[in-house]
Amino acid sequence: MEDYDVLVGALSTGLWVTVKITLGAAALAIPLALLAGLGRLSTLRTVRWTAMTYVEVFRGTSALVQLFWFYFVLPLFGVQLPAMLVGIVVLGLNAGAYGAEVVRGAIAGVAPGQREAAVALNMTRTQTIRRIILPQAFPAMLPPAGNLLIELLKNTALVSLITITDLTFRAQLLRSDTLRTTDIFILVLLMYFALALVITAGIRLLERRFKVR
Amino acid sequence: MTPIFDWSFAFSILPTLGEALIITIQATVLGMALAVTLGLALALLRRSKLFIVSAPAAVFIEFVRSTPLLVQIYFLFYVLPVTGVQMSPLVTGIVALGIHYAAYCAEVYRAGIEAVPRGQIEASTALNLSPFRTAVGVVLPQAIPPVVPALGNYLVAMFKDTPLLSAITVVELLQQSKMIGSATFRYTEPLTLVGIMFLLLSLAAAWGVRRLEHRLARYGGKR
């Protein structure tokens, strides 16, 4: 019981991988969410439908099935990606699809008068979106985005099933080495909880900074 | 050379996948039944006036909501036997799904309860109703119907989380397709079919939830 630091040391390499995957997937998901969220509001039908198909497919299927599909089926089409990249790309695509709905909801929440005023001022559509709509929609996106980031963090545990040695995978390895099952899993749960608290705190900070006046 | 997607092979594995789908649906339905009951209990505990009751409930809800379901499944699967509780993998998985989503459902119920106008509770006090009768007879009947669609969304989410049970040897849809894959060296058809099955069923369920929402809005769902 006293040598917890041994377990923590062994788990910390996995923790780092988990953090890297979370950050990588978030870096992919955020632009994707903006793109798909705006795409669903496009005047072009092709853009709208592409965005909708992307969102529905990635929200409608299981994240684990998506991981397996990209890991096992894509190589048969000649696309061979390393496991780490598959993890980041799939989790990023998955979170991006949920994020697109957040973006869409926040944009829909901007008062219609704002858009009308932009039209009246003869602003172009791009200008309207970039300078009027998005800055006002941004604060409304933050709380649900924080929840999604925590979802993403939790989803990274799935990559342990496609052979990536993240925190969960390390826990499994350590379990078969030391048989200290209960200690290990309690530690792992606490580590994920700590990471989630960090995300919550970060979002709180952003929320305070971008508070609508 | 075999085609990229062999239709006759795909049709030949459909019955096997169908059997596994039944396990998946079973896990979803039982898990959700556990989640809605346990979630209601958690929501009520969290609202308790006693700090020693409400604080642990709040911590439990936060903790379960911010740690991965997969790790929770492993925890129950490996740690429960140590404490002497023996359960089949499927039952362990259902309990894990139930507890995880109970924490989410508790928050949904909480939102529903908080939306009940204060006057309702004050009126119950004026009518000298006991706290129990206030909760069961007055607050919950008004709190639950508006949140049914939100609970429905969690049903769909849970359905999509059932493949995690494959990690603890439950032969549900994903595990079955992997077994077909390793036996036949063909992963394209089984995995693609599983993806399509999930997509179709969750789109259908999401449509059902929307219908329900409309219906509830029509029958006094408004406030």
- Give the ipTM: 0.87
Query: What is the rounded average pLDDT of the residues A153-165?
Result: 94
Contact B178 A61 (CB under 8 A): no
CA A115 to chain B, closest CA, distance in angstroms equals 29
pLDDT of residue B125: 92
Test mutation, B74, B100, B173, chain A, max A CBs within 10 A? B74
Report the phi/psi class of residue A121: left, alpha or beta, with left for phi > 0 and alpha for psi in -120 to 50.
alpha
Superfamily, domain A4-209: MetI-like (1.10.3720.10)
pLDDT tens by residue, A32-66: 999 999 999 888 999 999 999 999 999 999 999 99
* Mean pLDDT computed over every residue of chain B: 91
pLDDT of residue B113: 93
B1 occurs within a structural domain: no
CA distances from A19 to A12, A26, A90, A152, B142 (A): 10, 10, 16, 11, 43
**What's the structural domain count of chain B?**
1
pTM metric for this prediction = 0.89
Chain B touched by A16 (CB under 8 Å): no
B30 occurs within a structural domain: yes
CA distances from B129 to B49, B115, B125, B132, B137 (A): 17, 20, 6, 8, 9
Chain B touched by A41 (CB under 8 Å): no
Contact B198 A62 (CB under 8 A): yes
B99 occurs within a structural domain: yes
B2 occurs within a structural domain: no
User: Which residues touch B19 (CB under 8 Å, ≥6 apart)?
Assistant: B176
Report the phi/psi class of residue A76: left, alpha or beta, with left for phi > 0 and alpha for psi in -120 to 50.
alpha
- Domain ranges in chain A? 4-209
Q: How confident is the model at residue A211 (pLDDT cuts 50, 70, 90)?
A: confident
CATH number, position B36 = 1.10.3720.10
- Which residues on chain B are in Cβ contact (under 8 Å) with A160? 70
